[in-house]
Amino acid sequence: MPLVLAATPIGDPRDASPRLGLELAGADVVAAEDTRRLRRLAGELGVELPGRIVSYHEHNEASRTPDLLEAVTKGERVVLVTDAGMPSVSDPGYRLVRACADADQPVTCVPGPSAVLMALALSGLPVDRFCFEGFLPRKAGERRRLIEDVATERRTMVFFEAPHRIAASLEDMAQLLGPDRPGAVCRELTKTYEEVRRGGLSELAEWAAEGVKGEITIVVGGAEATTVSIEDAVAEVIARHDHSSRLKDVCAAVATTTGHGKKALYDAVVAHRRDHSD
């Protein structure tokens, strides 16, 4: 019997598929990120849970994976659910999928709601090519480094963020990606107070400064293609750099508008200054 990754509603329980109820009712083992939420969802769906219920979350994922793999290997039907959405996507599940794959055990999915795809569809931004970056780092320095790393990404980007950090994250994005870079903040998707705010990153940061609540997904437009040469980009950095700013910060800012990688631009500036130091 396979391991079954079962997607759960991201807000509205009416989004649950009939197959989700069938899988929960027919499971020998249900591994849940939060067993109380699982029981509440089962009650809303009118589903009995005859199988064994175990917790499976970020704090016990490593230790519990061998037991669940053993259950799958013995022929038990193991269904894995998280609090919302698809297991293993910014949620527990990767370790168990990897363990089953390594042991040549079958794995399948019950498809369902996705905050990533819903936010993309509602954003009004191009969705022919996109990338998912997961949760932004909690620490400011790490968050800024990640944003700098994706500054020249051409695809539309999707991020998860906590409500108490959304304002700071949008401010960093506006500074490092450009104040007019288009974006959308999608919160409480499928819930009563669902809201989508669209605009430039600076505009969104100003809105978020007043306080934002709920589950949040950020969608940011990709960098536009440019024809600025590396020589012109270097000249812009040199013109903008003074002793009150760090060279790396100036390079990062210029990189967002010229399409060059920040490290490549920094190295080119250093080389230019070395060659013209005499």
Let me know how long the chain is: 278
Using CA atoms, how far apart are residues 68 and 66, in angstroms rounded to an integer? 6
Residue-range definition of the domain harbouring residue 33 = 3-110
- Backbone φ and ψ for 92, nearest 5 degrees, come out as -60, 150
Count the domains in the chain: 3
CATH number at residue 53: 3.40.1010.10
CB 81 within 8 A of CB 33: yes
In a domain, 225, yes or no: no
User: 130: which strand partners?
Assistant: 156
* Residue closest to 103 by CA, chosen among 69, 68, 65: 69
Domain limit, last residue, from 81, 110, 139: 110
pLDDT of residue 216: 97
DSSP class per residue in 15-81: G--HHHHHHHHH-SEEEES-HHHHHHHHHHHT----SEEEE--TTTHHHHHHHHHHHHHTT--EEEE
In a domain, 103, yes or no: yes
CATH number at residue 163: 3.30.950.10
Same domain, 129 and 202: yes
Domain limit, last residue, from 220, 238, 266: 220
Same domain, 169 and 216: yes
The CA-based diameter of the chain, rounded to the nearest angstrom, is: 80
Domain limit, last residue, from 58, 84, 110: 110
This model's pTM is above 0.85: no
Same domain, 101 and 126: no
Same domain, 122 and 27: no
* Residue closest to 115 by CA, chosen among 30, 222, 8: 8
pLDDT of residue 24: 97
Same domain, 184 and 247: no
Per residue of the chain (278 residues), give pLDDT as tens.
899 999 999 999 999 999 999 999 999 999 999 999 999 999 999 999 999 999 999 999 999 999 999 999 999 999 999 999 999 999 999 999 999 999 999 999 999 999 999 999 999 999 999 999 999 999 999 999 999 889 889 999 999 999 999 999 999 999 999 999 999 999 999 999 999 999 999 999 999 999 999 999 999 999 887 768 889 999 999 898 886 778 988 888 888 778 788 888 899 999 998 888 76
